[in-house]
Amino acid sequence: MEQEIEKCAELLRAGKVLLYPTDTVWGIGCDATNEEAIMKIYHIKQRDEKKSMIILLDSAERLPMYVKKIPLIAWDLIPHISRPTTFIYPTAQNLPAKLVHNDGTIAIRIVQQEFCRRLIRALGKPIISTSANIAMQPTPQTFADISPEVLKQMDYVVPQQYASSYDYKPSRLIKFLDDYNFTVIRD
């Protein structure tokens, strides 16, 4: 696994786009700080550039690098999350404008899947996570469901042996409203 992670990290550093396993569905990803690579993903997905995307981090300790003001309740919730959950934080920072919603929020998930977590750690930066489909088409539930149109546009596809999720569905989505309140957008 270590060789595969280093290979993928090098590709991400070079601005490449990968199809990789996450703790939910297979994701299309790139270095979340590389605007050119982010634009490739918008193009591949035929996605409206006004729609922000989720970023993945390997640990909560990295949150302050990308979120200016972390709601107090986040520190209570994060350690108790048992299933993939993406939180929408109110004040993004140190990320390209294309990733930040027009209201200044950013969606971040602390990834639990081993390959993905180790890849982020090796890269030293967050990575994009967006489902491996064309915008407005159904999210693929398995690798076999990913369309050839998407696959042929990838710079690299991580071998399926590194996928460990069997719960192929999007993550829970929770938005922080202030220091003490949140709302569940998708359960």
From the options 3.40.1670.10, 3.90.870.10, 3.30.565.10, 3.20.20.70, give the CATH code of 2-186. Answer: 3.90.870.10
Reported pTM? 0.92
- 36-95: pLDDT as tens digits: 999 999 999 999 888 889 999 999 999 999 999 999 999 999 999 888 999 999 999 999
Structure tokens at 103: 């209201």
Q: What is the pLDDT of residue 36?
A: 96
Residue range 5-21: average pLDDT? Answer: 96
Q: How close are the terminal C-alpha atoms of the chain, in Å? A: 32
Taking the domains of the chain in order of start, what are their residue ranges? 2-186
CA distance 156 to 130: 15
